[in-house]
Chains A and B, each alone.
Chain A
Amino acid sequence: MTQPFVHVEDVAKRWNGQLGVENISLSIPEGAFVALLGPSGCGKSTTLRLLSGLELPDEGRISIDGRDVTLAAPSERNLSMVFQSYALFPHLSVAENVMFGLKVRKTPKAERQKKLHRALEITGLLGYENRKPGELSGGQRQRVALARAIVANQPLCLMDEPLSNLDAKLRASVRKDIKKLQSDLGMTVVYVTHDQTEAMSMADMVVLMKDGHIQQVGAPEDLYYKPANTFVAEFVGAPPMALIDSAALPGFGGVEKIGLRAENIHVAETGQGRLSCQVSECEFLGSETFVGLSHPGTTGLTVSMPGLRNIPAGQQMEIGFSDADLHFFDANGQRLNQPQPGA
Chain B
Amino acid sequence: MAEHVNIERRRQAIYGWLLLSPAAILLTTFAFYPSLATFWDSLFSRETRRRPSEFIGLENYTDLFADPTFLVVVKNNLIYAGVTIPVSIGIALGMALWANSKIPARGFVRTAYFTPTVLPMIAAANLWLFFYTPGLGVLDQIGSLFGLPSVNWLGQPETALWAVIIVTIWKEAGFFMIFYLAALQTIPEDLKEAADIEGASRWTYFRRIVLPLLMPTTLFIMVNALINSVKLIDHLFILTKGGPNDASKLILYYIWEMAFAFFDAPHAAAMTIMVLLVLGIVAAVKFTILDKRTHYQ
Contacts and interface: CB of A to CB of B under 8 A. Distances in A.
Interface of A: 52-54, 73-76, 79-81, 83, 85, 87, 89-91, 100-101, 104-105, 132, 134, 148, 152
21 contacts: A54-B196, A74-B193, A74-B196, A74-B199, A75-B196, A81-B193, A83-B193, A85-B188, A87-B194, A89-B194, A90-B213, A91-B213, A91-B215, A100-B195, A101-B198, A104-B198, A104-B201, A105-B198, A105-B199, A132-B295, A152-B198
Interface centre among A54, A73, A91, A101 (most CB of B within 10 A): A91
Contacts, number: 64
A90 B190 contact: no
Interface string B73-95: 00000000000000000000000
B204 A104 contact: yes
Contacts of B191: 87, 89
Contacts of A104: 195, 198-201, 204
Interface in B198-231: 198-201, 204, 208-209, 212-213, 215
B148 interface: no
Given A89-B209, A90-B297, A91-B212, A100 B198 contact: yes
Nearest to B201: A104
A54 B193 contact: yes
Say what secondary structure dominates the interface of chain B.
helix
A101 B150 CA distance: 56
Interface centre among A79, A80, A100 (most CB of B within 10 A): A100
A258 B25 CA distance: 80
Nearest to A76: B199
B197 to A, nearest CB: 5
A83 B198 contact: no
Interface in B177-201: 188, 190-191, 193-201
Contact of A87 (B193, B199, B212, B295): B193
A83 B190 contact: yes
Contacts of B213: 90-91
A132 B213 CA distance: 13
B108 to A, nearest CB: 22
A83 B212 CA distance: 22
Interface in B261-297: 295, 297
A81 B212 contact: no
A100 B200 CA distance: 9
Given A53-B196, A75-B200, 12 more contacts: A54-B197, A73-B196, A75-B197, A80-B197, A89-B194, A89-B208, A89-B209, A90-B297, A104-B195, A104-B201, A105-B198, A152-B198
Contacts of A54: 193, 196-197
A75 B209 CA distance: 17
A104 B297 CA distance: 24
Nearest to A49: B193
Nearest to B187: A90
A271 to B, nearest CB: 62
A73 B196 CA distance: 8
Interface in B62-119: none
A335 B197 CA distance: 40
Contacts of B200: 75, 100-101, 104
A54 B196 CA distance: 8
Contacts of B295: 90-91, 132
Contacts of A53: 196
Contacts of A87: 188, 190-191, 193-194
A75 B191 CA distance: 14
Contacts of B198: 75, 100-101, 104-105, 152
Contacts of A83: 190, 193-194
Contacts of A91: 209, 212-213, 215, 295
A53 B199 CA distance: 12
B204 to A, nearest CB: 6
Contacts of B195: 100, 104
Nearest to B209: A89
Contacts of A132: 295
Contacts of A75: 196-200
Interface centre among A73, A90, A134 (most CB of B within 10 A): A90
Contacts of B193: 54, 74, 81, 83, 87
A152 B200 CA distance: 14
B191 to A, nearest CB: 6
Which 4 A/B pairs are nearest by Cβ-Cβ distance? Answer: A75-B199, A101-B198, A91-B295, A87-B194
Contacts of B188: 85, 87
Contacts of B190: 83, 85, 87
Contacts of A74: 193, 196-197, 199
Contacts of B215: 91
A73 B297 CA distance: 30
A148 B195 CA distance: 11
A281 to B, nearest CB: 41
Nearest to A105: B199
